[in-house]
């Protein structure tokens, strides 16, 4: 089976921040997990580079839009290895291959009769060379960028017949109740559709930084059309010499933040329908990361800096924290205090220390050898369902619940240590076999939770698995007693050191 997942492509007019890391990390966890399960995975991310804001920013700096895009795209591309993202390709919409593919697809939609010439009327800024939406316009009908007064202008441009897809979209949402998740976002998109769809303009005149309309080279496509199509076009050129489109399209899970719901839940499926292509299988919408209950913003100075966190604690800790702390799909609060608490209590104390104490005991009393003995069913009963539970939760894109399921088991293992008190068993020769069993059970328990955690925290789990002498990180190996009993474990530095 194949599994294709995407993040939004990030607009190059901004610096990479926590929000970008968040979506990408979630997608990466899915991608890594599905690879563990043996799926043929394709994971796409990239940058959105066309449009007026980039053109304006470049102009302000006295460089070309392409130069600006090159510089800023590099920052996003550099983010990926930093957060341990294993994207299979990084698409840039300024890529000529993408541009060409967009032209072909839009031509197809045009030929099918879904695009017509119309006129757009609105407040126009001649300096921006673009229309302003009511929400963008400043006081007294002024341009928020240039501060000049705006006049109502008409522009001839091309319109996409969105209204023609009203019924098909409603049917899509009815036939596939889980097309958009979580349910409140589905409702929101559906009510938007049911409210009556109007056609939208899909081209802009007077803007050069974009994909030229093939049948009207004076115009470029509205940047959202160009951007949305990336999920499809990338497949045609991501792998040199091979077109992956048929293999991976339609995408299985497209992840987006709630701010771009409408584009992905309404426009994008309609565009695909217009092009005669299958619609993506699902759209999963996450919320905002808030700090002090407010949306993060640099001006408020309340940003949890992902780079600072990673410098001090590593990418794994950031990945864990974001997915653990905030119920995926809902808005949630993040903070440096919250991070430190999770890091110390859950990563260092619960998980890291469980590994340390277990390996130390095996080292001290058994010279690192794990006996090939029967495991304790008391723990086995609790750990055995874990792999299926986690897989089912990640199928539903519920990483927060998956982590909770794993942590319940980590706590179980710590409790088991107290219940059995291996240090007491170690003092009594008659309890030698029991001690073997307890230690072997603990090692197996740790192996199972660590493989389950591998997609979330690839770096630290790899260290631990190495110390455990475990090589197979496939999902099949995440089952209780998937591997034969016995083995040898090595030493381990604290996985999550406390400062």
Nearest alpha carbon to residue 88 among 134, 42, 147: 42
The catalytically annotated residue of 50, 98, 114, 128 is: 128
To the query of whether residue 202 is one of the catalytic residues in this protein, the response is no
CA 99/CA 396 separation, integer angstroms: 34
Residues 281, 253: contact at Cβ < 8 Å? yes
To the query of whether residue 295 is one of the catalytic residues in this protein, the response is yes
Q: What is the CA radius of gyration of the chain?
A: 26
To the query of whether residue 33 is one of the catalytic residues in this protein, the response is no
Which of 3, 4, 11, 268: binder of RNA (CB under 7 A)?
A: 11
User: Residues 6 or more apart from 116 whose CB is under 8 A from it?
Assistant: 158, 159, 161
Q: How far is the CB of 219 from RNA (least distance, A)?
A: 13
Tell me the β-bridge partners of 278. Answer: none
Nearer to RNA, 82 or 411 (CB): 411
Residues 131, 203: contact at Cβ < 8 Å? no
The catalytically annotated residue of 66, 154, 295, 427 is: 295
The catalytically annotated residue of 33, 50, 125, 286 is: 125
Q: Which two tokens stand for residue 461?
A: 């789990």
Decide if residue 350 touches RNA (CB under 7 A).
Answer: yes
Coil vs helix vs strand at 218? strand
Q: Which two tokens stand for residue 78?
A: 């550099």
User: Residues 6 or more apart from 132 whose CB is under 8 A from it?
Assistant: 122, 123, 124, 125, 143, 144, 150
Q: Where in 190-209 is the site for RNA (CB under 7 A)? A: 191-192, 195-198, 200-201
Residues 1, 39: contact at Cβ < 8 Å? yes
Q: Where in 246-275 is the site for RNA (CB under 7 A)? A: 258-260, 262-263
Q: Where in 210-239 is the site for RNA (CB under 7 A)? A: 222-224, 227
The catalytically annotated residue of 98, 114, 143, 264 is: 143
Q: How far is the CB of 418 from RNA (least distance, A)?
A: 4
Q: What is the DSSP-derived secondary structure letter of residue 191?
A: H
To the query of whether residue 125 is one of the catalytic residues in this protein, the response is yes
Segment contacting RNA by CB under 7 A, of 38-46, 208-216, 235-243, 351-359: 351-359
Segment contacting RNA by CB under 7 A, of 26-34, 48-56, 70-78, 82-90: 48-56
Residues 143, 132: contact at Cβ < 8 Å? yes
Active site residues: 17, 20, 125, 128, 143, 146, 295, 298
Please give the residue ranges that form the binding site for RNA (CB under 7 A): 11, 13, 48, 51-53, 120, 131-136, 162, 183-184, 187-188, 191-192, 195-198, 200-201, 222-224, 227, 258-260, 262-263, 325, 327, 330-333, 341, 345, 348-353, 355-357, 360-361, 364, 411, 414-415, 417-418, 421-424, 494-498
């Amino acid at each position: 089976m194949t599994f294709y997942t995407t993040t939004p492509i990030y607009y190059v007019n901004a610096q990479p921040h926590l929000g970008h890391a968040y979506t990408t990390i979630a997608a990466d966890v899915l991608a890594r997990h599905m690879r563990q399960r043996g799926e043929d995975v394709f994971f796409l991310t990239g940058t959105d580079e066309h449009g007026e804001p980039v053109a304006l920013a470049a102009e302000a700096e006295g460089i070309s839009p392409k130069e600006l895009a090159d510089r800023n795209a590099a920052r996003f591309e550099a983010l990926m290895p930093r957060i341990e993202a294993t994207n299979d390709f990084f698409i840039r919409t300024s890529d000529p291959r993408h541009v060409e593919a967009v032209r072909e697809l839009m031509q197809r939609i045009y030929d099918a009769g879904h695009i017509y010439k119309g006129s757009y009327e609105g407040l126009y800024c001649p300096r921006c060379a673009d229309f302003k939406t009511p929400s963008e316009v400043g006081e007294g009908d002024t341009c928020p960028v240039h501060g000049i007064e705006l006049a109502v202008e008409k522009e001839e441009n091309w319109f996409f017949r969105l209204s023609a897809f009203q019924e098909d979209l409603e049917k899509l949402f009815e036939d596939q109740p889980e097309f958009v998740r979580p349910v409140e976002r589905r409702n929101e998109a559906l009510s938007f559709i049911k409210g009556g769809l109007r056609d939208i303009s899909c081209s802009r005149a007077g803007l050069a930084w974009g994909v030229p309309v093939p049948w009207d080279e004076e115009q470029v496509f509205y940047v959202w059309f160009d951007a949305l199509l990336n999920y499809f076009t990338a497949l045609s050129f991501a792998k040199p010499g091979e077109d992956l489109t048929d293999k991976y399209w339609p995408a299985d899970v497209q992840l987006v933040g709630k701010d771009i719901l409408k584009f992905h839940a309404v426009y994008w499926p309609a565009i695909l329908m217009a092009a005669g292509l299958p619609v993506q299988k699902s759209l999963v919408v996450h919320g905002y990361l808030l700090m002090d209950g407010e949306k993060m913003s640099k001006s408020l100075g309340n940003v949890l800096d992902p780079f600072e966190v990673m410098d001090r604690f590593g990418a794994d800790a950031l990945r864990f924290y974001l997915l653990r702390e905030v119920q995926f799909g809902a808005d949630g609060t993040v903070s440096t205090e919250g991070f430190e608490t999770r890091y110390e209590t859950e990563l260092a104390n619960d998980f890291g220390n469980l590994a340390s104490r277990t390996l130390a005991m095996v080292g001290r009393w058994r010279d690192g050898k794990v006996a090939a003995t029967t495991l304790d069913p008391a723990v086995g009963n609790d750990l055995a369902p874990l792999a299926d539970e986690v897989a089912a939760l990640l199928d539903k894109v519920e990483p927060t619940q998956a982590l909770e399921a794993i942590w319940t088991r980590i706590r179980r293992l710590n409790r088991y240590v107290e219940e059995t008190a291996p240090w007491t068993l170690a003092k009594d020769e008659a309890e030698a076999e029991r001690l073997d069993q307890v230690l072997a059970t603990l090692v197996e328990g740790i192996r199972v939770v660590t493989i389950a955690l591998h997609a979330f925290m690839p770096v630290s789990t790899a260290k631990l698995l190495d110390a455990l002498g475990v090589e197979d990180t496939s999902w099949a190996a995440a089952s209780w007693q998937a591997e034969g009993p016995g083995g040898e474990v090595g030493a381990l530095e604290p996985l999550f050191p406390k400062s």
